[in-house]
Structure 1
């Protein structure tokens, strides 16, 4: 019984920390600047430094809500970022950041904290994108 209580307390701590971290749009902005701005531009308008050499133009990420009837498509954005939904760029798939974030955080085969961290990063990035939507 004592082991179960310790496991529950540990799980709640990890999940609570991950949830708080995931809700930080400022973290998302940093991730965006590190991983996305090269193609999508500093302001998310598809005019990054690599835009001139891409065979398929990078999307204007500030129009996601406008192009979706005024509602930010949070789940779709998360699926694109983590690789569940393919997006073609450079003539091939957009980088799959779910794998990048998971690989950089993995410490072992049953490291659930790394899964929470990767999902938190993806959610933070999506929340940042939601914050830069044009009206």
Structure 2
């Protein structure tokens, strides 16, 4: 078998071997990103009680309850699409995060519930894996 074909097959095997967020994201980095970019609205513990939450027309949700609100499964696709701006968030009026393009960058694949890969930036993959880790 040609060397490049072997490399592609090995890469695909590694990608589909396990949960995408575990392969693509770093929990500690995700937590640090959350504290820097998200805690002002969502709170240090991601419970929707950040210092600016009371000034918002629509309060930020308790992000520790995302899985509970979606039949016990962390809604990785739903969350990723809201953070990266593919889905607009009415309370923001703009794509989230409203502070700009920080969550752009080198793309990595994550696996969505259908088993299909979705490309997201590395910072977003880190944030997703941290958010998944805090579900109650």
Shift of 1:116: 2.6
Runs ≥4 residues deviating over 3 A: 19-22
Tell me the distance in 1 between the aligned counterparts of 2:74 and 2:60. Answer: 18
Matched ranges for 1:1-135 at <5 A: 22-89=24-91, 92-93=93-94, 94-95=96-97, 99-102=101-104, 114-116=105-107, 119-134=121-136
More strand by share: 2
Equivalences, count: 110
Q: TM-score with structure 2 length normalisation?
A: 0.68
Instruction: Tell whether the 8 Å contact from 1:22 to 1:120 is kept in structure 2 after alignment.
Output: yes
Shift of 1:49: 0.5
Shift of 1:21: 8.5
Tell me the distance in 2 between the aligned counterparts of 1:78 and 1:33. Answer: 18
Instruction: Tell whether the 8 Å contact from 2:25 to 2:128 is kept in structure 1 after alignment.
Output: no
CA RMSD of aligned residues (A): 2.9
User: Alpha-carbon deviations, 1:12-64, whole Å to 9, x = none?
Assistant: 8xxxxxx9984211100000001110000011110000011111111110110
User: Alpha-carbon deviations, 1:57-80, whole Å to 9, x = none?
Assistant: 111101100000000001111111
Indicate how the Cα distance of structure 1 residues 88 and 27 shifts in structure 2: closer, same or farther if over 3 A, else same.
same
Gaps of 5+ in 1: 13-18, 103-113
Tell me the distance in 2 between the aligned counterparts of 1:86 and 1:26. Answer: 27
